[in-house]
Amino acid sequence: MELKANNEIEYIKNILSSNIIENSFGDGNSICETAEVPIKHSFADQIYIRQMDLKKGHIIVGAVHNHLHAWFLLTGHVVINNNGEIVEHIAPCYTVSSPGSQRLIYALEDSIFVNVHKNPTNTENIKKLEKEIVSITIEDYNKKNNI
């Protein structure tokens, strides 16, 4: 089934990419890499673990996830808009994220957010992994999945 862009997330992503809101990161056209939101990469056999450290007040628009995977909130308190569904999460907790999920995360407290992805080739090349596990837009997701 073809996914449609979530108008709420697209609207907010456009505002955030204009850099007029403090503590918002990313431009919506690439994976955000900034010292303000440190990312830690860890690996186990056929598993890629991506840890993101958020400060209170940070707003993050995530990429569209291509695969079923688990994520964990180890510490903190966040509100997440996941494809239009708004859910508050208080650590410690975890959930399973469906293919096509795109999250907008607002940190109510300093928080540690961890995604756990499959990595069948055991590569440690982050750019290669990102191309496999996420799409930047819903249109890219649909194209990758021949939808």
Q: What is the pLDDT of residues 106-141, one digit of tens each?
A: 999 999 999 999 999 999 999 999 999 999 888 889
Which pLDDT score, from 0 to 100, does residue 40 have?
96
Please give the model's pTM, rounded to 2 decimal places: 0.83
- For 17, counting Cβ atoms within 10 Å of its Cβ (0-12 exposed, 13-18 middle, 19+ buried), the class is middle
- Locate 77 and state its tokens: 């308190």
Largest interatomic CA distance in the chain = 42
- pLDDT of amino acid 84: 79
What value does the mean pLDDT of the chain take? Answer: 85
Q: Which domains does the chain have, with CATH numbers?
A: 7-144 (2.60.120.10)
User: Quick one: DSSP state of residue 7?
Assistant: H
